[in-house]
């Protein structure tokens, strides 16, 4: 496959693997489950990341570096804040990773802060 083919509309996002090609030809190709697509680490941090983005956006600075674990835990208790985010999934994710909830939240804040500029979480520009 040429580079131009990958950049054109309708082109596959990646070249199909031999297994995918064989399963498609045999008619046995199935859509993978969410769990199959992502490792447990990625799956559990994705849910926390969602609420951390929301917490960042309500900070006056709009910066992830100003988000504190205690404020995130307080927001988790507010059912109206980021209501589509499953609190059970956040707690269960920490358990699944074998860390306490505070450490899990802190780890994700630290990772997001490291890429804050790329993610739009560096805050609003100074006036």
Q: What's the pLDDT band for 102 if we cut at 50, 70, 90? A: very high
- Distance in angstroms (rounded) separating the CA atoms of residues 121 and 124: 8
Residue 88, both tokens: 């059970």
> What confidence score (pLDDT) does residue 34 get?
65
3, 10, 46 from 20: Cα distances, Å: 21, 18, 26
Whether residue 72 is predicted with pLDDT greater than 80 in this model: the reply is: yes
Tokens of 92: 């269960």
Q: Per-residue b/e over 112-123, b at no fewer than 16 CB within 10 Å?
A: bbeeeeeeebbb
Joined tokens for residue 6: 């990958």
The domain spans of the chain are 1-30, 34-119
pTM of the shown model: 0.68
Looking at per-residue pLDDT, the higher value among 15 and 60 belongs to 60
The pLDDT-based confidence of 53 (bands split at 50, 70, 90) is very high
């Amino acid at each position: 496959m040429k580079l131009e083919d990958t950049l054109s509309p309708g082109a596959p996002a990646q070249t199909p693997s031999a297994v995918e090609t064989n399963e498609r030809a045999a008619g046995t190709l199935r859509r993978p489950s969410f769990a199959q697509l992502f490792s447990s680490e990625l799956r559990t941090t994705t849910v926390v990341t969602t609420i951390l983005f929301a917490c960042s956006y309500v900070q006056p600075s709009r910066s992830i570096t100003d988000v504190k674990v205690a404020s995130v835990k307080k927001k988790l208790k507010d059912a109206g804040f980021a209501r589509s985010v499953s609190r059970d999934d956040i707690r269960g994710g920490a358990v699944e990773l074998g860390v306490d909830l505070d450490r899990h939240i802190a780890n994700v804040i630290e990772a997001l802060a490291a890429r804050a500029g790329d993610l739009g979480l560096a805050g609003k520009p100074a006036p």
